[in-house]
Structures are given as C-alpha cells and as structure tokens.
C-alpha cells in the first residue's frame, strides 16, 4: 500500500497511537470503573501525559466510547472458532462453556467495565447509541452460537435471539458478580449450567 520508507501515512500512525492510549486507558477503566477513572488517573497509570490523551481524543466521552467499542469488538469474536470448528453439539457446548468460564476469569475487569458503561447509558444519553450497538453485537453472537448448536443437533432455536441473549447475559452477569465477591466456584457452576441449559434452548426442527 504505502511506500516502504520509514515514514508512514499520518493516518496510520494516528490510529496506532489512539489504540495504544486506549489500550492503556482500558486497563485503568477496568479497575476503577467509568465514574472514578479520571483522565489524570488514566494518564498516570500509563506512559502518556494527561495532555496527550486530550490530543488524541476530543474529550473523556470520546475516549471511553473508543475503549469500549474496541474492547467489545474483540470480545464478540471470541467464540467464532468454537462455532466454526465444532462437529457435534456436545463439542460446541463444551467449547462455549469453557470459553465463557475462561473470559469470566481472565477478563473479569473488562466485563465489569462493560456492565458499568451499559448501566450508565441508562442515565447518559450520549452513551446510549454505543451501548445499543454493542448489545446488538452480543445478541448476534449468542444467536450464532445457539443456532449453530441447533443445526448440529438437527434442531432449531426454541426462543428468539433477544430472549436467548437476555437469559445468558443475566446468568453471566450473576457469575461475574459472584466472582467479584470472591466466590470462586462460580466458574465451574457456570460451565455446568451452560451444559444443562443449552439443550433446553432448542427444539426438534419442523422442516426435514
């Protein structure tokens, strides 16, 4: 694309820098939450000055929206491999449950941040659009998983996407809260629960 010389097109470097700042900011946001993470605190916990943050992001809202969107873009693709590679229903359920428990353990603070932002979006109109958008991504993600699961089982989903998402999101959130409160067994309980619940979310296909 661009020349192989040392200088890159400014747009690339600009985006790269934004990403680096946002990545660092996301860590602080995940630890302190949306409200208590000030721009200075975010800058102090990184290699950037508080001025450079404002140089690359219009304001705090701009930064947070960028962080959450980036964060969830990755999160939503986490199960693509399982969906694509599973050859049996059980394999898919196990893969899904394991990934779920794994992200719950390894990326707990990122999930806390998401639920925090989504809660705030009910009070701040400026957050509403991005929250709606990401909720849509997550609903589609769940739908891909369940409908593929049904397909492998020669069945079809028994509930609409929004309901499946609401149920699994609620259970995941409860597990996240339990983990945050120090209840370590929540990981295994969530895994087992997924095994128990997914079969009840499909029904024999009418066609074929």
Partner DNA sequence: GTCGGAACTTGACACCTGTCAAGGCGCACG
Partner DNA sequence: CGTGCGCCTTGACAGGTGTCAAGTTCCGAC
Is residue 41 a contact point for DNA (CB under 7 A)? yes
- Distance in angstroms (rounded) separating the CA atoms of residues 32 and 2: 40
**Residue of 173, 187, 195, 199 interacting with its own copies (CB under 8 A):** 173
Is residue 178 a contact point for DNA (CB under 7 A)? no
Tokens in use for 94? 């196990």
Is residue 181 a contact point for its own copies (CB under 8 A)? yes
Tokens in use for 162? 């929004």
- Distance in angstroms (rounded) separating the CA atoms of residues 185 and 175: 9
CB of 98 to its own copies, least distance (A): 19
- The 37-76 site mask, x for binding its own copies (CB under 8 A), equals ----------------------------------------
Contact yes or no for 68/114 (Cβ under 8 A): yes
- Distance in angstroms (rounded) separating the CA atoms of residues 179 and 187: 8
Is residue 184 a contact point for its own copies (CB under 8 A)? no
- Give the H or E element holding residue 203: strand 202-204
CB of 45 to DNA, least distance (A): 12
Q: Residue 138 burial (CB < 10 Å; 0-12/13-18/19+)?
A: middle
Angle, helices 186-197 vs 161-180, to 10°: value is 160
- The 108-127 site mask, x for binding its own copies (CB under 8 A), equals ----x--xx-xxxxxxx---
Is residue 54 a contact point for DNA (CB under 7 A)? yes
Tell me which residues touch its own copies (CB under 8 A): 31-36, 112, 115-116, 118-124, 128, 131-132, 135, 162-163, 165-171, 173-174, 176-177, 180-181, 193, 197, 200
């Amino acid at each position: 694309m661009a020349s192989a010389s040392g200088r890159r097109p400014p747009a690339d470097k600009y985006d790269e820098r934004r990403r680096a700042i946002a990545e660092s900011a996301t860590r602080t946001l995940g630890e302190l939450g949306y409200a208590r993470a000030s721009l200075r605190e975010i800058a102090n916990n990184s290699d950037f000055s508080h001025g450079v943050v404002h140089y690359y992001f219009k304001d705090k809202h701009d930064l947070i929206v960028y962080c959450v969107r980036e964060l969830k873009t990755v999160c939503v693709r986490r199960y693509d491999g399982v969906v694509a590679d599973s050859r049996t229903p059980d394999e898919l359920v196990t893969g899904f449950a394991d990934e779920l428990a794994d992200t719950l353990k390894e990326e707990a603070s990122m999930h806390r941040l998401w639920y925090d932002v989504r809660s705030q979006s009910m009070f701040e109109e400026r957050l509403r659009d991005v929250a709606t958008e990401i909720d849509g991504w997550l609903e589609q993600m769940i739908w891909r998983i369940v409908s593929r699961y049904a397909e492998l089982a020669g069945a079809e989903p028994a509930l609409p996407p929004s309901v499946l998402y609401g149920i699994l999101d609620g259970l995941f959130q409860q597990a996240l809260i339990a983990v945050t409160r120090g209840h370590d067994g929540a990981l295994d309980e969530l895994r087992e629960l997924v095994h128990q619940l997914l079969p009840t979310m499909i029904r024999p296909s009418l066609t074929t």
